[in-house]
Structure 1
Amino acid sequence: MTLNERAIGGLLALACGDALANGVEFSPRGSADIKDMNSTRRYLPVGQWSDDTGLALCLGESLVANKGFDAADQMRRYEGFYDRQEGWPSELALAPGNTLGAALKKFKHTDEPFAGSTHPLAAGNGGLMRLLPAVLAADPDLELIRLWARESTRTTHGAEECLEASELLAMIIHHLLRGEPKNQALEAGKDEAWKSKKITTLAQGDYLQKTDALIKAKSYVVDTLEAALWCFGTTDSLEAALLAAANLGDDCDTVAAITGQLAGCHYGLKAIPADWLNVLVEKDRIVQLARSLIDLTPDTTANPEG
């Protein structure tokens, strides 16, 4: 399988996971039975992704346009997405989560792009859901991947657990893009000296022994990452992984989007069900962005703040 097939698969599966689950976001577990794109109670059309994918596209398109990392440009694109529906193919306006919204408000008033709250109680999952483009743009430089994983998160989510969660996910994705076996890739951060004890536990892979009753699909960054890793690690196909995520309830669309990043980079483009891709909104835009990110030779001399 080629790197392009894995990269395109990862970005498309992110969008598919989001589109599968956004109609039942924050529903109690067991209240929905998601089997395909037509299963959910919808406020968006079938195949339409939400801001999980929208912000990933904003991040990716910023990286391509600037040939590298420009935090201020990323924040302007996030602001445009929410305030003016730029890059959002729907008439329904979306509102950011509390932590992300506070960061955008701070950016508007200060022009400081690294505006994410560093408070431990503001450790939401908004950095994880949009992460993949930063990994693809920095690939194959693992040091740069880890840096951009943290910096692309820090714009809106500055808590240390958020930064480490993104760094761990980025490391795992890097190994999946290399074609390493799933169990080997999931051990990518096992020997790292993480500051967070909870991230250390995640990196050890203890979640693989848990039943679904012990998995929380909450917006707290550690819960979200554990749920996505569990969905990916305990299933044997892309479809099974994304459906497991979509049926967890709570913040299931974000869990499914993150699961899609993992599963898509592992199983590749051809593993995504054709009937999902047939209805996925702006599929061609997503495919072209993935290709552009992989082809990018980053300019690492530029000021990352923009």
Structure 2
Amino acid sequence: MQEQITGAFYGIAIGDALGVPVEFKTRSFLSENPITTLTGFGCWNQPPGTFSDDTSLTFCTAESLIAGYDIHTMAQTFVRWAQFGYWGAHNEVFDIGHTTRRALQRVAVGTSPFVSGGFEEFENGNGSLMRMMPLAFYLVKENDIHQRYQTVKEVSGITHQHFRSVLGCFIYVEFLRHLLSLKNLQHAYAQMQRSVNAYLHMQPFNPAEVKYYERILQQQIAAVPVQQIDSSGYVVHTLESALWCLLNTNTYESCVLAAVNLGGDTDTTGAVAGAIAGLHYGINQIPAAWIEQVAQSAAIKQLAQHFSVALNATKA
């Protein structure tokens, strides 16, 4: 699993960094000026290889899990990032979502992380989805799907408590978890659909809310025409676009470049797609030049190793 962990950790950071300079650019602009490698400056005026909040909060999540699952510790690690740039590409924060900022401000003044997250319908951005990847590794041996759902709900809820955000995170984690044992993308996708749909069928969840994920859970998201794939910062759109890119490409590189060149919320689409592709293809399939150029490259490798050791110790 070490190669998958390292691949996912570098995968998210590089996918994020590819998208940072062109965040908010339109799809038509990027079709004429496509991103083909790590570039710099652009909308955030950051050097090449700079990742954003997506990766920083993912690494905060992973680091807190190394010491064991504790929502309070995890939330405080997030606050440390928000206030001091901990795990920032350059030890500073240059991008933070409104819902995430409000939630972490609540945590910082003593609100419990079990009730800190936004729960209004307008607070369904992708700010919890983007940091969920480490949970797939942490929950790989948890055979109780209800317990997996509850864990995802708690971790998402630090910043995003609405059911729509939680369900998006759950689908993502379940798919990643299946990818750890199934090498075939289509098989893992089908298995995710079966397990998630069976679980949802047994729960008293609002069918109108579940329906937002119909294209992922009931249809084949890969078959949707690209013109109908929206790459905004809305949680449903981010999950759809990341899965679409993964299932319509056959290398890590082509997946993340497709994700970023969709335009819109390029860093998060790149990050979410990059995490899945990095896990699936492994560290050895990610371009070496990108691994060298991404910010905090040595620290990422070390974190991945520590995370892997901690998981093995937990399983022993």
Q: CA deviation at 1:224?
A: 0.7
Write out per-residue CA displacement over residues 197-232 of structure 1, whole angstroms, 9 at most, x where no aligned residue: 122431234321112111101111111100000000
Q: Distance in 2 between matches of 1:90 and 1:247?
A: 25
Give the 3-state SS of the residue equivalent to 1:31 in structure 2: helix
Amino acid at match of 1:272: I
In structure 2, the residue matched to 1:186 is 189
SS of the aligned residue for 1:118 comes to coil
Paired residue for 1:203?
217
> Does 2:144 match 1:149?
no
Q: CA deviation at 1:91?
A: 6.2
Kindly tell me the number of residue pairs found equivalent between the two proteins. 296
Distance 1:119 1:289, change over 3 A: same
Higher helix share: 2
Aligned counterpart for 2:284 among listed residues 260, 270, 281: 270
Equivalent residues of 2:81, 2:93 under 8 A apart = no
**Residue 286 of structure 1 pairs with residue 287 of structure 2:** no
- Distance of 2:112 and 2:308 partners within structure 1: 29
Contact 2:130 2:268 in 1 (8 A): yes
For structure 1, list consecutive stretches of 5 or more residues without a partner in the other structure: 301-306
Unaligned segments of structure 2, at least 5 residues = none
Which amino acid letter does the alignment assign opposite residue 263 of structure 2? Answer: G
Q: Give how far 1:178 is off.
A: 1.2
Q: Which moved more, 1:125-134 or 1:82-91?
A: 82-91
Q: How far is 1:89 from its partner?
A: 4.0
Matched, 1:102 2:102: yes
Q: Deviations over 1:217-270 (max 9, x none)?
A: 111111110000000011111111000001111111101100011111111111
1:165-200 per-residue CA deviation (whole Å, 9 max, x = no partner) reads 111111111111113310011123323243411224
Q: Give the Cα separation in 2 of the matches to 1:34 and 1:201.
A: 28
Answer whether contact 2:132 2:173 (CA < 8 A) is retained: yes
Q: Provide closer, same or farther for how the CA distance between residues 155 and 92 of structure 1 changes in structure 2, counting only shifts above 3 A.
A: closer
Distance 2:279 2:93 in 1: 30
Distance of aligned partners of 1:241 and 1:297 in 2 relative to their CA distance in 1, 3 Å threshold: closer
Q: Report which stretch shifted further, 19-28 or 183-192.
A: 183-192
Question: What pairs with 1:51-130 in structure 2 (closer than 5 Å)?
Answer: 51-64=53-66, 66=67, 68-90=68-90, 93-114=93-114, 115-130=116-131
Distance in 2 (CA, whole Å) between partners of 1:177 and 1:145 is 15
Name 1:223's counterpart in structure 2.
237
1 CA distance for matches of 2:191 and 2:149? 12
* Contact residue 53 and residue 130 of structure 1 kept, 8 A: yes
Shift, 1:141, TM fit: 2.1
8 Å CA contact retained: 2:16, 2:51: yes
Counterpart of 2:167 (choices 158, 164, 167) is 164
Q: Take 1:31 and 1:145, find their aligned partners in 2: how far apart are those partners?
A: 40
